[in-house]
Structure 1
Amino acid sequence: MNLRILSNLFLLAVLLSCSVVKPKQPGKDTFSHGKLKVSENKRFLQHEDGTPFFYLGDTAWELFHRLNREEADQYLEDRAKKGFNVIQAVALAEFDGHTVPNAYGYLPLQNLNPAQPAVKEGADNDYWDHVDYVVDKANELDMYIGFLPTWGRYWHDDGIRFFTPENARAYGEFLGKRYKDKKVIWILGGDREVKNDHHYAIIRAMAQGIKAADGGSHLISFHPPGSRGSAEWFHNDNWLDFNMRQNGHATDYTYRYSKTQEDYNREPTKPVMDAEPLYEDHPVNFDAGRQGHSIAADIRRALYWNLFDGAFGHTYGHHSIWQMYDPEKERHPINNPLMSWQEALDQPGALQMVYGKRLIESRPFFTRIPDPSIIVKGRVPTSVPGEGRYRFVATRDTNGTYAMIYCPVGRAFTVNMKAIKGSKVKVWWYNPRNGKATLFDTFENVQDERVFISPDKGELIDWILVLDDAAFNYPAPGKQ
Structure 2
Amino acid sequence: MHPLRSFSLAFVAFMVTLAVYGQGKWPHGRVTVAPDGHYLQYEDGTPFFWLGDTAWELFHRLTREEIGQYLDNRKEKGFNVIQAVVLAEMDGLFTPNQYGDIPLVDQDPEKPNESYFQLVDDVLQMAAERQLCMGLLPTWGDKVTRMWGGGPEVFSVENAYHYGRWLGDRYREKENIIWILGGDRPAIHDSVDTRPIWREIARGILEATAGEALITYHISGGKQSTSQQIHREPWLQVNMMQSGHGSGHDVPVWEWITRDRAMMPTKPTLDSEPNYEDHPVNPWPQWDPKNGYFDDYDVRKQTYRSVFAGACGVTYGHHSIWQFWSEREEKINHADRYWTEALDRPGAFQVGYLRRLIESRPFADRIPDQTIIVNGQGEKGQHIRAFRDGAGSYLMAYIPQGRTITVDVTSLNAGALRGWWFNPATADTVDIGPVEHTRSLELTTPTLGFGNDWVLVIDGVAAMRR
TM-score (norm 2): 0.90
How far, CA to CA, are the matches of 1:106 and 1:375 in structure 2? 55
How far, CA to CA, are the matches of 1:154 and 1:239 in structure 2? 20
Aligned pair 1:99/2:97, yes or no?
A: no
Partner of 2:294: 294
Partner of 1:123: none
CA offset at residue 441 of structure 1? 1.6
How is 1:146-185 mapped onto 2 (pairs within 5 angstroms)? 146-157=135-146, 160-182=152-174, 183-185=176-178
Partner of 1:248: 244
Q: 1:252 to 1:289 in 2, by over 3 A?
A: closer
User: 1:186 aligned to 159, 179, 203, which one?
Assistant: 179
How is 1:433-448 mapped onto 2 (pairs within 5 angstroms)? 433-445=425-437, 447-448=438-439
- Displaced runs of 4+ in structure 1, greater than 6 A? none
How far, CA to CA, are the matches of 1:156 and 1:257 in structure 2? 30
Contact 1:278 1:317 in 2 (8 A): yes
SS across alignment from 2:377: helix
CA offset at residue 218 of structure 1? 2.0
User: 2:461 aligned to 453, 460, 470, which one?
Assistant: 470
How far, CA to CA, are the matches of 2:309 and 2:254 in structure 1? 9
User: 1:58 aligned to 48, 53, 60, which one?
Assistant: 53
Q: 1:470 to 1:285 in 2, by over 3 A?
A: farther
- CA-to-partner distance for each residue in 1:72-100, whole Å, 9 max, x for gaps? 11111111111111100000000010111
Contact 2:288 2:334 in 1 (8 A): no
Contact 1:430 1:465 in 2 (8 A): yes
Structure 2: 5+ residue stretches without partners:
none
- CA-to-partner distance for each residue in 1:379-409, whole Å, 9 max, x for gaps? xxxxx42122221110111232211010111
Partner of 2:131: 142
Q: Which letter maps to 1:266?
A: M
CA offset at residue 474 of structure 1? 5.7
Query: Root-mean-square deviation (CA), in Å?
Result: 2.0
Identity of aligned residues (%): 44
CA offset at residue 432 of structure 1? 1.1
Q: Which letter maps to 2:427?
A: G
TM-score (norm 1): 0.88
Q: 1:474 to 1:167 in 2, by over 3 A?
A: farther
Aligned pair 1:460/2:456, yes or no?
A: no
Partner of 2:235: 239
How far, CA to CA, are the matches of 1:314 and 1:289 in structure 2? 25
User: 1:133 aligned to 122, 126, 130, which one?
Assistant: 122
Contact 1:24 1:82 in 2 (8 A): no
Contact 2:381 2:401 in 1 (8 A): no
Structure 1: 5+ residue stretches without partners:
1-12, 120-125, 379-383, 476-480
CA offset at residue 251 of structure 1? 5.2
Aligned pair 1:117/2:108, yes or no?
A: no
How far, CA to CA, are the matches of 1:252 and 1:421 in structure 2? 37
How far, CA to CA, are the matches of 1:40 and 1:156 in structure 2? 35
User: 1:415 aligned to 379, 396, 407, which one?
Assistant: 407
Q: Select between 252-261 and 341-350 the one with higher mean Cα deviation.
A: 252-261
SS across alignment from 2:425: coil
Q: Which letter maps to 1:245?
A: M
SS across alignment from 1:193: coil
CA offset at residue 265 of structure 1? 1.5
Aligned pair 1:46/2:41, yes or no?
A: yes
SS across alignment from 1:129: helix
Partner of 1:357: 355
Q: Select between 182-191 and 450-459 the one with higher mean Cα deviation.
A: 450-459
Q: Which letter maps to 2:108?
A: N
Contact 1:94 1:151 in 2 (8 A): yes
How far, CA to CA, are the matches of 1:62 and 1:37 in structure 2? 26
Contact 1:300 1:349 in 2 (8 A): yes
SS across alignment from 1:406: strand
How far, CA to CA, are the matches of 1:306 and 1:359 in structure 2? 15
SS across alignment from 2:92: coil
How far, CA to CA, are the matches of 2:62 and 2:15 in structure 1? 25
User: 2:338 aligned to 333, 337, 340, which one?
Assistant: 340
CA offset at residue 351 of structure 1? 1.0
Contact 1:64 1:102 in 2 (8 A): yes
Partner of 1:305: 305
SS across alignment from 1:33: coil
How far, CA to CA, are the matches of 1:168 and 1:429 in structure 2? 51
Q: Which letter maps to 2:363?
A: F
- CA-to-partner distance for each residue in 1:13-65, whole Å, 9 max, x for gaps? 9xxx9xxx9x9573324720222211111111111221111111111000000
Contact 1:37 1:219 in 2 (8 A): yes
